[in-house]
Each structure stands twice: as structure tokens, then as C-alpha cells.
Amino acid sequence: MASCYNKQHFNFAGKGKVMRPAGLDDNAPLSNINKILVIRVDGIGDLLNSTPAISLLRENYPLAEITVLARPLNASVLIGNPDVDRILVFDRDGKHRGFFAQFQFYRELRRERFQLVVAMQTAMWSHLVAFLSRAPYRLGRYQKRFRSTLTHAWRGKYPKGETHEVDRNLELVRLICNGEGKRKLIFHLLPDEIATAKTRLASWGIGDNAFLIGIHPGGSSFDKRWPEKQYAELADRLAHHYKATILLLQGPGEEALTENIQKTMQSAAIIHAPETIRELGALLSCCDLVVCNDSGPMHVAAALDVPTIAIFGPTDHVAWHPLSENASIVRRDMPCWPCSAHKCKIGWECTKKLPVEPVWNATTITVEGSRK
């Protein structure tokens, strides 16, 4: 059975316990903090869903220099972010590959003399980097094996299907911040980036009056991807019913995916591979509707408040749904949800057997709503 949800279904906050040194009050901002490091070296969506927490840090420490440690994949989403002063990039497969390169990286990090390090992601490496930085205050989520790496640890439990990632991140930084924070992702596009996107669209014959629908059928793993046949059928319906221009967007290694969709379609479609996440964001901002899987581009579209239909499979849609008033998700109810597994005994029926009809219904509701 397929289900369609909009943003109103997801307003949860988890509860937990705090591990902190004796004598520190709850929600007490720290004193004399001039340099803050936030660690988020995972995905595009992970970092975007951390931007509200970074904003709360900025609100509580307005004079501090806030640096974010990211990776090549996601670092550029912070360009233009008013809450971030510097972006450091840890390139595990390039510049920082190998023991000696990483050792030098840790030495340089220590020389920065950060006073507060926030390990936003729950990972051994992040906790280790926080510890090696020698910052006097180190905040993260509690892990028994690495409890000594932190001075402030969130010990809350988040059962699946209860709490959005944004709320988890906000709850973490509230240990050292006053205020609730705003549940709004930040992805700031520069005027030149938008102008370049419009120029590119014009070169394809797509004017300002066109009804442009961007479809990004890729994803980080096979189990998250809605089948090509269903995407092609949906695209044909959209092209016919709304006289829409279909823009198929692809990431690295997804050439065959978009080509197969284009070949299966009866209508015309333009295929494009954005070279950067910034270019992708600029193109998405020009779209009247975006249809995609649970993916980084989904969170980019949400941050830009572009009307979005997100197709979910086995992952926790409560934790990772696109956080936007203009976004809805479509999923197939399964008794085994959520598993987030790359192995499945029933062939990922949650994703692969989701029919076109509920996705089509969600798109029509979203389009008609945006036209009011």
C-alpha cells in the first residue's frame, strides 16, 4: 500500500540524558569561546540538516569564528552561508590519503587552537578528531568506547521513526546554547550562479515562461532508487498534462540511468550532468517542481524551498524527509520498515514496487497547490 505524506506529519523531538562535567547547568552557553569547529564529513544531506544547529551556535556565540570541517562531496553547500566563517576540507582519498598526510592534518588542526569542537556526526573518527584537537570543550553524542574523547555528550536515544535529523542536531547543540533554534535548512545561492543557470536553460530553449520539472532519479545506493520505467511513465504524464519541459539531472556514474529513462519516454527530455553541487542547486532553483529519490539533491531542493516530491524506500522518512513547507514524500508501507539495509530478502519491494499512481497524485496536489 502506498502512502503520501506532507511536512505536517513530521514534528517530533527526542528525549535523552546529558553527560557533562559537574557544575555545568543545562543549556548554559560556554564562556570565552572565540573559535569553534563543527565536524561533518559525511553526506550532502547530513551537512545541510546540520545548518540549523550551526545557526543556533552562531546565535549564541556571535563573536566566535565558526569553522566547519567537511569533505569534498559536501563542502560547497556552505559557500555563502552567513553562519560559517571558514570551511576546512578533509580529503581522505586525495590530499589527506595515507598515514603521514593524516598525521600532518591533525597537527595543523591542533595548531588552530579551537576552544569548542562539535562532532555533529556519530562516528568514531569525528570523536577522535575532536579529542586530538585538544579543544577544552568537545561536544558530541555519547559512545561508550570513546566516552573519554568528549567533555559534553548527549546520551539520548532516538528510536527509528520518531525524530528528524535537524531536531537531533539542534538538541545536541542546545547543551551549550540558549534558545530552540529554527528548523530551516540553509543553502545560499549567489546571484551569478542563478544567472548562469538561467543562461544555460535559455541555451536549451527553455524560457522563463516554461513549466520546468527537474527529475533526479539517482541516489547514493541501489535500494533508494525508484525504477527507470516508473520515472519514464511519470515524466510522460507530466509532460503531457502540464505541457512541461522535463530536465533529467544526473550525478557521476548515473549516465545509463538517465539515458534509459529518456529512451523509455514518449516525450522529449533534456539530460544534464551538473559539474558541481552549486550548479545543481542553481538549476533546481529554476524548476517549478522537482521529483527525486531520498538523496542529497532532495535536501538541496528542500533548502531552496522548491516544490518537491521525494520518493522513499527503506530509509527512515521521519528522520530524513525533506524539511520544507513545499515538500511531500511518497512511500510504500511495509511491515519491515525501516531497515536502511542494502540487502533485502524480498527485493526492495518498498522502492521497486511503488506504483506511479501515488507519485502522480502527489505531484498534481503539489503543482495545483503552488499555483494558487
Report the CATH number that the domain containing residue 297 is assigned in CATH. Answer: 3.40.50.2000
Residue range 14-22: mean pLDDT, rounded: 37
Residue range 220-245: mean pLDDT, rounded: 94
Does the residue 183 lie in any domain?
A: no
More confident residue, 26 or 160: 160
Q: What is the pLDDT of residue 27?
A: 58
More confident residue, 183 or 13: 183
Residue range 198-227: mean pLDDT, rounded: 94
Residue range 344-355: mean pLDDT, rounded: 82
Asked if residue 253 and residue 150 are part of one domain, the reply reads no
Domain boundary residue, one of 176, 210, 227: 176
Domain boundary residue, one of 114, 145, 176: 176
Asked if residue 154 and residue 36 are part of one domain, the reply reads yes
Does the residue 85 lie in any domain?
A: yes
Asked if residue 291 and residue 325 are part of one domain, the reply reads yes
Does the residue 106 lie in any domain?
A: yes
pLDDT value at 330 more than 90: yes
Domain boundary residue, one of 176, 210, 234: 176
Asked if residue 265 and residue 124 are part of one domain, the reply reads no
pLDDT value at 24 more than 80: no
Does the residue 250 lie in any domain?
A: yes
Asked if residue 202 and residue 114 are part of one domain, the reply reads no
Does the residue 280 lie in any domain?
A: yes
Does the residue 185 lie in any domain?
A: no
Asked if residue 47 and residue 117 are part of one domain, the reply reads yes
Q: What is the pLDDT of residue 78?
A: 98
Helix/strand/coil (H, E, C) string of the chain? Answer: CEEEEEHHHCCCCCCCCEECCCCCCCCCCCCCCCEEEEECCCCHHHHHCCHHHHHHHHHHCCCCEEEEEECCCCHHHHCCCCCCCEEEECCCCCCCCCHHHHHHHHHHHHHCCCCEEEECCCCHHHHHHHHHCCCCEEEEECCHHHHHHCCEEECCCCCCCCCCHHHHHHHHHHHHCCCCCCCCCCCCCCHHHHHHHHHHHHHCCCCCCCCEEEEECCCCCHHHCCCHHHHHHHHHHHHHHHCCEEEEECCCCCHHHHHHHHHHCCCCCEEECCCCHHHHHHHHHCCCEEEEECCHHHHHHHHCCCCEEEECCCCCHHHHCCCCCCEEEEEECCCCCCCCCCCCCCCCHHHHCCCHHHHHHHHHHHHHHHCC
pLDDT value at 372 more than 70: no
Asked if residue 320 and residue 212 are part of one domain, the reply reads yes
Q: What is the pLDDT of residue 16?
A: 37
Asked if residue 120 and residue 228 are part of one domain, the reply reads no
Q: How far apart are CA 238 and CA 273, in angstroms?
A: 21
CB burial of 57-80 (b: ≥16 within 10 Å; e: otherwise) equals: bbebbeebbbbbbbbebbbbbbbe
pLDDT value at 5 more than 80: no
Residue 2: band (very low, low, confident or very high) from pLDDT cuts 50, 70, 90: low
Full residue range of the structural domain in which residue 308 is found: 191-370
pLDDT value at 3 more than 80: no
Does the residue 181 lie in any domain?
A: no
Asked if residue 344 and residue 206 are part of one domain, the reply reads yes
Asked if residue 238 and residue 205 are part of one domain, the reply reads yes
Q: What is the pLDDT of residue 148?
A: 84
Residue range 188-204: mean pLDDT, rounded: 98
pLDDT value at 363 more than 80: yes
Asked if residue 218 and residue 338 are part of one domain, the reply reads yes
Asked if residue 22 and residue 165 are part of one domain, the reply reads yes
Does the residue 182 lie in any domain?
A: no
Q: What is the pLDDT of residue 144?
A: 79
Cα-based distances in Å from 362 to 152, 365, 367: 43, 5, 9
Range with lowest mean pLDDT among 11-20, 135-144, 181-190: 11-20
- Percentage of the chain with pLDDT > 70? 91
pLDDT value at 13 more than 50: no
For the chain, what is the domain count? Answer: 2
Average pLDDT of the chain, as a whole number: 89
